[in-house]
Protein backbone atom coordinates (compact mmCIF):
# COMPACT_ATOMS: atom_id res chain seq x y z
CA UNK A 1 0.00 0.00 0.00
CA UNK A 2 1.43 3.41 -0.90
CA UNK A 3 2.36 5.84 1.86
CA UNK A 4 -0.32 8.40 0.82
CA UNK A 5 -3.04 6.02 1.98
CA UNK A 6 -1.65 6.10 5.52
CA UNK A 7 -1.37 9.88 5.70
CA UNK A 8 -4.89 10.45 7.02
CA UNK A 9 -4.66 7.69 9.61
CA UNK A 10 -1.31 9.00 10.65
CA UNK A 11 -2.62 12.52 11.27
CA UNK A 12 -5.66 11.22 13.16
CA UNK A 13 -3.48 9.12 15.43
CA UNK A 14 -1.32 12.11 16.20
CA UNK A 15 -4.33 14.41 16.68
CA UNK A 16 -6.10 12.09 19.10
CA UNK A 17 -2.84 11.27 20.84
CA UNK A 18 -3.73 7.64 20.67
CA UNK A 19 -1.65 4.61 19.79
CA UNK A 20 -1.60 3.81 16.03
CA UNK A 21 -3.53 0.83 14.79
CA UNK A 22 -1.80 -2.47 14.13
CA UNK A 23 -1.81 -1.91 10.35
CA UNK A 24 -0.38 1.61 10.68
CA UNK A 25 2.17 0.45 13.22
CA UNK A 26 3.43 -2.24 10.84
CA UNK A 27 3.67 0.34 8.03
CA UNK A 28 5.55 2.77 10.24
CA UNK A 29 7.98 0.01 11.16
CA UNK A 30 8.59 -0.66 7.47
CA UNK A 31 8.56 2.97 6.11
CA UNK A 32 11.13 5.37 7.49
CA UNK A 33 9.62 8.46 5.78
CA UNK A 34 6.13 7.79 7.22
CA UNK A 35 7.71 7.17 10.60
CA UNK A 36 9.43 10.54 10.36
CA UNK A 37 6.19 12.17 9.20
CA UNK A 38 4.34 10.62 12.14
CA UNK A 39 6.95 11.95 14.54
CA UNK A 40 6.65 15.36 12.92
CA UNK A 41 2.88 15.31 13.29
CA UNK A 42 3.17 14.33 16.93
CA UNK A 43 5.66 17.12 17.43
CA UNK A 44 3.30 19.62 15.75
CA UNK A 45 0.34 18.60 17.89
CA UNK A 46 2.47 18.69 21.00
CA UNK A 47 3.54 22.22 20.09
CA UNK A 48 -0.07 23.22 19.48
CA UNK A 49 -1.11 21.79 22.85
CA UNK A 50 1.76 23.50 24.58
CA UNK A 51 0.87 26.82 22.96
CA UNK A 52 -2.79 26.39 23.90
CA UNK A 53 -1.93 25.53 27.48
CA UNK A 54 0.38 28.51 27.66
CA UNK A 55 -2.29 30.94 26.56
CA UNK A 56 -5.08 29.25 28.56
CA UNK A 57 -3.26 28.95 31.89
CA UNK A 58 -1.72 32.37 32.38
CA UNK A 59 -1.33 33.50 35.94
CA UNK A 60 -4.11 35.68 37.19
CA UNK A 61 -2.72 39.04 38.29
CA UNK A 62 -2.87 39.38 42.08
CA UNK A 63 -4.67 42.70 41.70
CA UNK A 64 -7.50 41.17 39.69
CA UNK A 65 -9.79 39.86 42.43
CA UNK A 66 -9.38 42.88 44.73
CA UNK A 67 -10.12 45.09 41.75
CA UNK A 68 -13.27 43.13 40.94
CA UNK A 69 -14.37 43.26 44.58
CA UNK A 70 -13.87 47.00 44.61
CA UNK A 71 -15.89 47.42 41.43
CA UNK A 72 -18.66 45.26 42.89
CA UNK A 73 -18.67 47.44 45.98
CA UNK A 74 -18.84 50.55 43.83
CA UNK A 75 -21.64 49.06 41.77
CA UNK A 76 -23.72 48.27 44.86
CA UNK A 77 -22.95 51.64 46.43
CA UNK A 78 -23.82 53.55 43.29
CA UNK A 79 -27.02 51.57 42.99
CA UNK A 80 -27.92 52.50 46.56
CA UNK A 81 -26.84 56.08 46.00
CA UNK A 82 -28.68 56.54 42.74
CA UNK A 83 -31.98 54.97 43.74
CA UNK A 84 -33.24 57.86 45.95
CA UNK A 85 -31.76 60.39 43.56
CA UNK A 86 -33.60 58.83 40.64
CA UNK A 87 -36.85 58.91 42.60
CA UNK A 88 -36.25 62.56 43.47
CA UNK A 89 -35.31 63.40 39.88
CA UNK A 90 -38.45 61.73 38.54
CA UNK A 91 -40.63 63.60 41.03
CA UNK A 92 -38.91 66.91 40.20
CA UNK A 93 -39.33 66.32 36.49
CA UNK A 94 -43.03 65.62 36.99
CA UNK A 95 -43.46 68.85 38.98
CA UNK A 96 -41.55 70.93 36.44
CA UNK A 97 -43.57 69.43 33.61
CA UNK A 98 -46.82 70.17 35.40
CA UNK A 99 -45.77 73.78 36.09
CA UNK A 100 -44.61 74.22 32.51
CA UNK A 101 -47.88 72.95 31.11
CA UNK A 102 -49.86 75.16 33.47
CA UNK A 103 -47.85 78.31 32.72
CA UNK A 104 -47.03 77.94 29.07
CA UNK A 105 -47.74 81.02 26.91
CA UNK A 106 -50.81 79.57 25.21
CA UNK A 107 -52.50 79.11 28.55
CA UNK A 108 -51.58 82.62 29.70
CA UNK A 109 -53.04 84.24 26.57
CA UNK A 110 -56.19 82.29 26.95
CA UNK A 111 -56.50 83.39 30.51
CA UNK A 112 -55.96 87.06 29.61
CA UNK A 113 -58.46 86.87 26.84
CA UNK A 114 -60.93 85.34 29.19
CA UNK A 115 -60.42 88.22 31.57
CA UNK A 116 -60.79 90.73 28.76
CA UNK A 117 -63.92 89.15 27.57
CA UNK A 118 -65.20 89.16 31.09
CA UNK A 119 -64.33 92.84 31.58
CA UNK A 120 -65.86 93.84 28.27
CA UNK A 121 -69.35 92.98 29.33
CA UNK A 122 -71.94 95.46 28.11
CA UNK A 123 -73.03 96.63 31.51
CA UNK A 124 -69.61 97.87 32.48
CA UNK A 125 -67.96 101.17 31.59
CA UNK A 126 -64.23 100.83 31.78
CA UNK A 127 -63.47 104.50 31.24
CA UNK A 128 -63.33 107.12 33.88
CA UNK A 129 -65.44 110.16 33.42
CA UNK A 130 -65.12 113.45 35.13
CA UNK A 131 -67.74 115.74 33.80
CA UNK A 132 -69.47 118.76 34.91
CA UNK A 133 -73.00 118.58 35.98
CA UNK A 134 -75.64 119.81 33.61
CA UNK A 135 -76.48 122.42 36.10
CA UNK A 136 -73.05 123.96 35.65
CA UNK A 137 -71.78 123.55 39.20
CA UNK A 138 -68.27 122.21 39.17
CA UNK A 139 -68.09 118.78 40.46
CA UNK A 140 -65.93 115.78 40.00
CA UNK A 141 -67.51 112.55 39.20
CA UNK A 142 -65.22 109.56 39.32
CA UNK A 143 -66.39 106.24 38.28
CA UNK A 144 -65.44 103.22 40.32
CA UNK A 145 -64.04 101.77 37.07
CA UNK A 146 -61.63 104.58 36.58
CA UNK A 147 -58.57 102.35 37.07
CA UNK A 148 -57.43 100.93 33.79
CA UNK A 149 -55.57 98.06 35.26
CA UNK A 150 -56.22 95.78 32.35
CA UNK A 151 -53.89 96.26 29.39
CA UNK A 152 -55.37 97.25 26.09
CA UNK A 153 -55.06 94.74 23.36
CA UNK A 154 -53.30 97.12 20.97
CA UNK A 155 -51.52 99.22 23.49
CA UNK A 156 -47.78 99.67 23.44
CA UNK A 157 -45.67 98.25 26.28
CA UNK A 158 -44.93 101.78 27.51
CA UNK A 159 -48.62 102.35 28.01
CA UNK A 160 -48.97 99.19 29.95
CA UNK A 161 -46.55 100.54 32.54
CA UNK A 162 -48.75 103.53 33.24
CA UNK A 163 -51.99 101.65 32.86
CA UNK A 164 -52.15 100.98 36.56
CA UNK A 165 -52.25 104.72 37.24
CA UNK A 166 -55.38 106.68 37.52
CA UNK A 167 -56.69 108.11 34.26
CA UNK A 168 -59.39 110.69 34.31
CA UNK A 169 -61.37 112.16 31.46
CA UNK A 170 -61.89 115.88 31.98
CA UNK A 171 -63.62 118.43 29.74
CA UNK A 172 -61.07 120.73 28.07
CA UNK A 173 -62.22 123.82 29.84
CA UNK A 174 -61.96 122.16 33.24
CA UNK A 175 -58.53 120.69 32.72
CA UNK A 176 -56.59 123.47 34.41
CA UNK A 177 -58.91 123.50 37.35
CA UNK A 178 -58.58 119.81 37.75
CA UNK A 179 -54.78 119.98 37.60
CA UNK A 180 -54.79 122.67 40.27
CA UNK A 181 -57.05 120.57 42.38
CA UNK A 182 -54.80 117.53 42.02
CA UNK A 183 -51.70 119.57 42.83
CA UNK A 184 -53.32 121.02 45.91
CA UNK A 185 -54.33 117.58 47.04
CA UNK A 186 -50.86 116.15 46.48
CA UNK A 187 -49.37 118.68 48.90
CA UNK A 188 -51.63 117.38 51.59
CA UNK A 189 -50.53 114.38 53.51
CA UNK A 190 -53.85 112.96 54.37
CA UNK A 191 -55.59 110.57 52.06
CA UNK A 192 -57.87 112.11 49.52
CA UNK A 193 -61.33 110.77 49.40
CA UNK A 194 -62.97 111.69 46.16
CA UNK A 195 -66.63 112.21 45.92
CA UNK A 196 -67.85 109.54 43.69
CA UNK A 197 -71.02 109.97 41.82
CA UNK A 198 -72.44 107.80 39.15
CA UNK A 199 -71.41 108.77 35.69
CA UNK A 200 -74.04 110.27 33.55
CA UNK A 201 -73.97 109.53 29.95
CA UNK A 202 -74.45 112.95 28.40
CA UNK A 203 -73.44 112.13 24.89
CA UNK A 204 -76.93 111.41 23.71
CA UNK A 205 -78.32 114.34 25.58
CA UNK A 206 -76.19 116.86 23.72
CA UNK A 207 -77.37 115.55 20.42
CA UNK A 208 -80.98 115.19 21.40
CA UNK A 209 -83.71 117.08 19.56
CA UNK A 210 -86.78 118.40 21.21
CA UNK A 211 -89.87 116.42 20.31
CA UNK A 212 -92.36 118.05 18.02
CA UNK A 213 -95.50 119.27 19.66
CA UNK A 214 -98.56 118.58 17.57
CA UNK A 215 -101.93 120.02 18.54
CA UNK A 216 -104.75 117.66 18.99
CA UNK A 217 -106.85 117.16 15.92
CA UNK A 218 -110.55 117.05 16.05
CA UNK A 219 -111.83 114.41 13.74
CA UNK A 220 -115.37 114.75 12.58
CA UNK A 221 -117.45 112.23 10.65
CA UNK A 222 -117.35 112.59 6.81
CA UNK A 223 -121.14 112.74 6.46
CA UNK A 224 -121.31 115.74 8.64
CA UNK A 225 -118.62 117.48 6.58
CA UNK A 226 -120.43 116.76 3.31
CA UNK A 227 -123.55 118.40 4.62
CA UNK A 228 -121.63 121.43 5.71
CA UNK A 229 -119.53 121.88 2.50
CA UNK A 230 -122.04 124.04 0.62
CA UNK A 231 -121.81 126.61 3.28
CA UNK A 232 -117.98 126.54 3.42
CA UNK A 233 -118.01 127.59 7.09
CA UNK A 234 -116.71 124.37 8.56
CA UNK A 235 -113.91 124.09 5.98
CA UNK A 236 -112.54 127.47 6.98
CA UNK A 237 -112.36 126.49 10.56
Partner 1 sequence: MQELVLIQPGRTAEKEFAQETAAAALRREFEERLAECGPLAYRVARGVLRNSADAEDVAQEALLRAYRRFERLRDRTRFRAWLVRIAFRLAIDRTRSSKRREVRETLWSQSAPRPSTEDVAATSEFQEHLDRAMDELPEKHRLVLLLAAMQGYSLEEVAEMLGLPLGTVKSRLFFARKQLAEKLRCHAKTIEKR
- Identity of the residue, 54 or 222, whose beta carbon is nearer to partner 1 in the bound complex: 54
Binding site for partner 1 (CB under 8 A): 11, 14-16, 40-41, 43-45, 47-49, 51-58, 60-61, 64-65, 67-69, 71-72, 75-76
- Identity of the residue, 76 or 155, whose beta carbon is nearer to partner 1 in the bound complex: 76
Q: What is the dihedral of CA 70, 72, 76, 82, to 10 degrees?
A: 80
- Identity of the residue, 18 or 189, whose beta carbon is nearer to partner 1 in the bound complex: 18
Distance CA 68, CA 51 (A): 28
- Identity of the residue, 50 or 125, whose beta carbon is nearer to partner 1 in the bound complex: 50
Q: How far is the CB of 69 from partner 1 (least distance, A)?
A: 7
Q: How far is the CB of 89 from partner 1 (least distance, A)?
A: 21
- Identity of the residue, 10 or 199, whose beta carbon is nearer to partner 1 in the bound complex: 10
Distance CA 202, CA 133 (A): 10
Q: How far is the CB of 81 from partner 1 (least distance, A)?
A: 14
Q: How far is the CB of 59 from partner 1 (least distance, A)?
A: 9
- Identity of the residue, 41 or 174, whose beta carbon is nearer to partner 1 in the bound complex: 41
Q: What is the CA radius of gyration of the chain?
A: 58
Q: How far is the CB of 87 from partner 1 (least distance, A)?
A: 15
Q: Which residues contact 127 (CB under 8 A, 6 or more apart)?
A: 143, 145, 146, 148, 169
Q: How far is the CB of 13 from partner 1 (least distance, A)?
A: 12
Closest listed residue to residue 11, CA positions, set 1, 23, 24: 24
Amino acid sequence: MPCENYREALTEAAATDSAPSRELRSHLDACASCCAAFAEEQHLFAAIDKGLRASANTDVPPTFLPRVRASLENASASQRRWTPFLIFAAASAAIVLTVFIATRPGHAIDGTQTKRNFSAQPGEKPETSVRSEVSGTPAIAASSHSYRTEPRRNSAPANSASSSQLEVLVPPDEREAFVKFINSQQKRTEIVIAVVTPVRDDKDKLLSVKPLEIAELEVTPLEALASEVPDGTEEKQ
